[in-house]
């Protein structure tokens, strides 16, 4: 008998999330994972690796709460926002009974996390402008315990309409948790809904240090929610989710100096994104460059598969989105350095 036969049925059938690193490639211009393109230096200051770390490091929690404008008891820190996605399912969804809902095209881990735990998935496709279809969502809420939405949405880059989000929160009150994924919110901080926690006890906001904070390799994320939700999540989180070095660097990134540096990175990326967006419109193989409030651009190409392979062969690695709902012909381009973006344009114009 194969060992795989001992695994759960749903795990044997599971298609894992295809992260940028799993997809691989042999490039020197990596524009497929929405990372910050340059490393940021930190010095480790904690030398207590012989001891277990705090479950929820006090300084990290306090600094993130101050940054996000919430109370310390409304913050949970975890191994990336991906763990926050999973914790909500572990705390609120019963396998074989409950469902999660999400609105493709969107981030793939909502589906993978649900399937891993044997939780049913309800898909309500976004409208043509990639906004929420509130009436369609309302019609399929029975049995749904967690609704995931992403704003700015990955991979489309658009902000979700605030009035639609309030409608979503109104129709799910006392029925389901609404998790709004703000992994890219530093690129449009005025659009955050973290200030809505007082109005909606079932609202959860997911955040990360992977993008604007340039710490994708650190694996540090945050869940913002009302205290009752945080206490439930603390029941199902690992005993020591953050290692001592991770907490050390995270607290430095959230210092006043760290926040200033993050905002400067955002300004640089935004300027480069605007340049790249304009330059792409002059490439003959480009059909459309979609507006973005994030650190990436979604672009529809003529013969996108040929474009993807041609750049791949030149060591320029983009993210293929053709398999996503309504994204035929689309590639996603992370905003790299100005030099890296210039290489993209040069390669496209040579096709």
- Residue 73, pLDDT above cutoff 80: yes
Q: How confident is the model at residue 17 (pLDDT cuts 50, 70, 90)?
A: low
Q: How confident is the model at residue 20 (pLDDT cuts 50, 70, 90)?
A: low
pLDDT for residue 18: 66
Q: What are phi and psi of 75, to 5 degrees?
A: -125, 135
The SS3 call for residue 203 is strand
Spell out the domains of the chain, with CATH numbers in brackets. Answer: 3-38+258-349 (3.90.1150.10), 58-255 (3.40.640.10)
Kindly state the average pLDDT of the residues 178-204: 98
Are 254 and 215 in contact by the 8 Å Cβ rule? The answer is no
Measured from the Cβ of residue 219, the count of other Cβ atoms closer than 10 Å reads 19
Q: pLDDT tens-digit profile of 83-128?
A: 999 999 999 999 999 999 999 999 999 999 999 999 999 999 999 9
Q: What contacts 235, CB < 8 A, 6 or more positions away?
A: 91
pTM assigned to the model: 0.95
For residues 281 and 276, give the distance between their C-alpha atoms in angstroms, rounded to a whole number: 9
Kindly state the average pLDDT of the residues 321-350: 97
pLDDT for residue 122: 98
- Residue 244, pLDDT above cutoff 90: yes
């Amino acid at each position: 008998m194969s060992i795989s036969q001992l695994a759960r049925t749903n795990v044997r059938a599971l298609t894992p999330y295809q992260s940028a690193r799993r997809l691989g490639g042999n490039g020197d211009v990596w524009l497929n994972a929405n990372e910050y393109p340059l490393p940021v230096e930190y010095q480790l200051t904690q030398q207590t690796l012989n001891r277990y770390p705090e479950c929820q490091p006090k300084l990290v929690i306090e600094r993130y709460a101050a940054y996000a404008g919430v109370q310390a008891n409304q913050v949970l820190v975890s191994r990336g926002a991906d763990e926050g996605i999973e914790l909500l399912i572990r705390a609120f969804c019963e396998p074989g009974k409950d469902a999660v809902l999400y609105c493709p095209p969107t981030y793939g881990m909502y589906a993978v996390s649900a399937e891993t735990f044997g939780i049913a998935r309800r898909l309500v496709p976004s409208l043509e402008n990639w906004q929420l279809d509130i009436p369609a969502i309302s019609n399929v809420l029975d049995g749904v315990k967690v609704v995931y939405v992403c704003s700015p949405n990955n991979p489309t880059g658009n902000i979700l309409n605030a009035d639609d989000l309030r409608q979503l929160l109104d129709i799910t009150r006392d029925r389901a948790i609404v998790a709004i994924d703000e992994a890219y919110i530093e690129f449009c901080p005025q659009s955050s809904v973290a200030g809505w926690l007082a109005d909606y006890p079932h609202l959860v906001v997911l955040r990360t240090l992977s993008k604007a904070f340039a710490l994708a390799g650190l694996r540090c994320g945050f869940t913002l929610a009302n205290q009752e939700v945080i206490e439930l999540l603390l029941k199902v989180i690992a005993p020591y989710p953050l290692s001592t070095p991770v907490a050390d660097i995270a607290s430095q990134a959230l210092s006043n100096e760290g926040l200033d540096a993050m905002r400067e990175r955002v300004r640089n990326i935004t300027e480069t994104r605007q340049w790249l967006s304009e330059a792409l419109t002059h490439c003959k193989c480009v059909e459309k460059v979609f507006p973005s409030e994030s650190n990436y651009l979604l672009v529809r190409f003529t013969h996108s598969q040929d474009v993807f392979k041609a750049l791949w062969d030149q060591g320029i690695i983009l993210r293929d989105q053709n398999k996503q709902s309504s994204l035929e012909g689309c590639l996603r381009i992370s905003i790299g350095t100005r030099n890296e973006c210039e290489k993209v344009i040069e390669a496209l114009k040579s096709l």
